[in-house]
Structure 1
Amino acid sequence: MSDLIIRPIRAEDYEAWDPLFHGYCDFYEVESTKDSRRITFDWLLDPAEILEGLVVERDGALIGLAHYREMPRPSRAQKMGFLDDLFVDPAARGGRVGEKIFDALREICRQRGWQMMRWLTQDHNYAARTLYDRVGQKSLFNLYEMTVDG
């Protein structure tokens, strides 16, 4: 396997990032348009926005992405990281790419003084959960959502 480069996302990554993020949205059955993906990408580049991104590069091609942000943890008076999106091109899976992304995220946590990184996944995402069980611990929390429409 060629060496992987995991690095912060850059403006010139858009054309290669877009199909990866589109694949992520498709997997979770979230409607996504070129415009909505462009908005997300612009957030990733805007220092005034909280969302940040990493990309995984192999042989000059992007094969993965991770979007994360700082999140307060009021009960501990600490900051922590929250991983919003993680996706590896299906053709690149099976080579521990996901673990290497988590290694990079762990290092970001160390550098920023975050004691942990949290993330969510759907229950049926068994392939990803195999990875998540290796790099983290499943919490005891249940996720609830409330829409503005009641």
Structure 2
Amino acid sequence: MPDSATPSFTIRPATVDDVDDLARLVRELAHYERDPDAAVATADHFREALFPREASPAAYAHVAERDGLVVGMAVWFASFSTWTGRRGLWLEDLFVEPAQRGLGIGKALLTELARVCTARGWTRLEWVVLDWNAPAIEFYRSQGAQPLTEWTTYRVAGDALGRLAGGSPS
């Protein structure tokens, strides 16, 4: 049990009331990752993706709350491994406000996702991290994560996605 000098926080599944905070934290993450214009998701996007009226959610989120304020988040979705024949959890974004770092919030968010995986019998918890983000890399390694250096992530987006979808040659 924490003593009175230990800052307290709560990790919980996000609710629809958290969508404004999720959008805010994603914008803060985009600034931290040196690409502020890339984060165009709005609270409405999060509401539709995480709390749809008639479909399954596209993603899920957990938030860290301290003193009544949302100060961190983990946004994730289920993945699938053809090698294990089982689901896994893909961590899309983990972010804690800079002023709240060093309190164990990031570790608590990651621990909660590991609990989700094990409780559901899922076999993997995976994510990507920018090569230059040394603090994040050090944190993830301290939690037992190992880099998969033999894999390279590829992405098709924007005009290239449109061309690929249309089957037009480059």
User: TM above 0.5, one fold?
Assistant: yes
Q: Distance in 2 between matches of 1:115 and 1:75?
A: 10
Deviations 1:22-59 (A, max 9, x none): 101222315233xx222134312236123000000011
Q: Distance in 2 between matches of 1:66 and 1:85?
A: 6
* Structure 2: gaps (5+ residues): 1-5, 164-169
**Match of 2:30, SS?**
helix
Q: Offset at 1:10?
A: 0.7
Structure with the bigger RCO (C-alpha within 8 Å, sep 6+) is 1
Highest CA radius of gyration, 1 or 2? Answer: 2
* Structure 1 range deviating more: 53-62 or 23-32: 23-32
Q: Distance in 1 between matches of 2:24 and 2:84?
A: 38
What corresponds to 1:40 in structure 2?
46
**What is the Cα-based RMSD across aligned positions, in Å?**
1.7
TM-score by length of structure 1 reads 0.89
Question: Larger strand proportion, structure 1 or 2?
Answer: 1
Deviations 1:45-95 (A, max 9, x none): 236123000000011111100001110101221111100011100110112
Q: Distance in 2 between matches of 1:106 and 1:75?
A: 20
Q: Distance in 2 between matches of 1:110 and 1:69?
A: 15
* Structure 1 range deviating more: 86-95 or 134-143: 134-143
Residue 11 (structure 2) pairs with residue 6 (structure 1): yes
Which of 153, 166, 169 is the matching residue for 1:143? 153
Q: Distance in 1 between matches of 2:111 and 2:68?
A: 21
What corresponds to 2:166 in structure 1?
none
Q: Percent identity?
A: 24
How many residues are treated as equivalent by the alignment?
148
Q: Distance in 1 between matches of 2:70 and 2:38?
A: 22
**Match of 1:106, SS?**
helix
Q: Distance in 2 between matches of 1:92 and 1:103?
A: 17
